[in-house]
Structure 1
Amino acid sequence: MVSRVIPVETFDLVIFGGTGDLARRKILPGLFRRFRSGQTPEGSRIIGAARSEIDSDGYRVMIAEAIAEFGGDEASDSDSLAAFLATLDYVAIDAKGDGGWADLAQKVRSDVVQAFYFSVAPSLFGDLAERLHSHKIATPDSRIVVEKPFGRDLDTARALNAVLSTHFNEDQIYRIDHYLGKETVQNLMAVRFGNVLFEPLWNNHYVDHIQITVAETVSVAGRGSYYDKSGAMRDMVQNHLMQLLCLIAMEPPSRFGADEVRDEKLKVIRALQPVAPHHIVRGQYDAGPDGPSYRNDAENPRSFTESFVALKCHIANWRWAGVPFYLRTGKRMKARSSEITVVFKDLGHTIFEGDTARHRNILSIRLQPNEGMDLQVTIKEPGPGGMRLIDVPLDMTFADALGADAEEVTDAYERLIMDVIRGNQTLFMRGDEVEAAWRWTDPIIQGWEARNDVPKLYDAGSTGPEDAMMLLHRDGRKWREVKG
Structure 2
Amino acid sequence: MCLEQQDQADRKPKLAITVLGATGDLAKVETFPALLDLFGHGMLEDAVIVGFARKDKTRNEFHDIVSEAMENSHVCEEMPELKDSIPGFLERVHYFKGSYDSDESMAELDSFLKEEEGKLREGPTLRLFYMAIPPFVFPGAAQAIKSKAMSDNTRLIVEKPFGHDLSSATDLQEKLGALFEEDAIYRMDHFLGYEINQSILAVRFGNVFLEPLMNRHHVASVRITLKEDFDLQGRGGYFTKYGVIRDNVQNHLLQMLCLVAMENPSTSGACADLRDAKLEVLNAMEVPDAKDMVLGQYEGADGKPGYLEDESIPEEDREAAKRTATFVQMVVRINNERWKGVNFIVKAGKAVEESKCEIRVQFKEPAPTCVLKDVVPKRDELVMRVSPHQAVYMRMNVKSPGLSTDLVQSEMDLTYSRKYPDIYTPSAYTRLILAAIQGDSQSFVRDDEMLRAWELFTPLLDKIEAEKMQPTLYPRGSRGPPEADEMLSQYGYVRPQGKWSRPDRPNCAHSRLMSK
- TM range, smaller chain: over 0.9
Partner residue, 1:447: 463
For the 8 Å contact 1:91–1:100, the answer to whether it is kept is no
* Partner residue of 2:213 out of 201, 206, 214: 201
Letter in 1 for 2:62: Y
Cα deviation digits, residues 309-345 of structure 1 (max 9, x gap): 1111210000001111100001011100000000111
Q: Which residue does the alignment assign to 1:240?
A: 252
Which aligned pairs between 1:85-96 and structure 2 lie closer than 5 A?
85-96=90-101
349, 352, 372: which one pairs with 1:333?
352
Q: Residue type of the partner of 2:329? A: A
How far 1:72 sits from its partner (Å)?
A: 1.8
Matched, 1:283 2:284: no
Name the aligned partner's letter for residue 66 of structure 1: A
Which residue identity does 2:355 align to in structure 1? R
Q: What do residues 326-385 of structure 1 show as CA deviations (whole Å, max 9, x unaligned)? A: 000010111000000001111122321334242x2110000000111101121111122x
Q: How does 1:150-189 map to 2 (within 5 A)?
A: 150-189=162-201
TM-score, structure 2 as length reference = 0.88
Instruction: Say if 1:285 and 1:307, in contact at 8 Å, map to a contact too.
Output: yes
The Cα shift of 1:149 comes to 0.6
- Deviation digits for residues 92-146 of structure 1, max 9, x if unmatched? 01123345323310233482221100110111111111111221x1146311000
- Can you list the C-alpha shifts for 1:435-461, whole angstroms capped at 9, x where unaligned? 100000011111112322111111111
Contact 1:19 1:50 in 2 (8 A): yes
- Percent sequence identity is 34
C-alpha distance in 2, partners of 1:456/1:186?
A: 35
2:480 aligned to 446, 464, 470, which one? 464
* Match status 1:212 vs 2:224: yes
The change in CA–CA distance for 1:165 and 1:476 in structure 2 (over 3 A counts) is closer
Tell me, yes or no, if the aligned pair for 1:211 and 1:479 is still in contact at 8 Å. no
2:326 matches 1:307: yes
Q: Which residue of 2 aligns with 1:60?
A: 63
- Pick one of 2, 20, 45 that aligns with 2:24: 20
**Secondary structure at 1:30's aligned position in 2?**
helix
Q: 2:373 aligns with which of 353, 356, 367?
A: 353
Give secondary structure in 2 for the equivalent of 1:353: coil
Closer, same or farther in 2 for the Cα pair 1:168/1:464, shift >3 Å? same
| CA distance, structure 1, for counterparts of residue 168 and residue 326 of structure 2 | 22
| Deviation at residue 163 of structure 1 after TM alignment | 1.1
Paired residue type of 1:44:
A
- How many residue pairs match? The answer is 478
Q: Paired residue for 1:43, among 41, 46, 52? A: 46
Q: Which runs of 5+ in 2 are unaligned?
A: 118-123, 503-516
Q: Structure 2 CA distance, aligned partners of 1:198 and 1:296? A: 48
Calculate the aligned-residue CA RMSD, in Å.
2.2
Indicate the residue corresponding to 1:343 in structure 2.
362
Q: How far did residue 76 of structure 1 move?
A: 5.7
Q: Distance in 2 between matches of 1:209 and 1:108?
A: 53
CA contact (8 A) 2:375 2:407 kept: no
1:376-395 equivalences under 5 Å are: 376-384=395-403, 386-395=404-413
Per-residue deviation at 1:301?
A: 4.8
Among 411, 420, 426, which residue is 2:427 paired with?
A: 411
| Structure 1 residue 39, shift from structure 2 partner | 2.2
Q: Distance in 1 between matches of 2:150 and 2:341?
A: 49
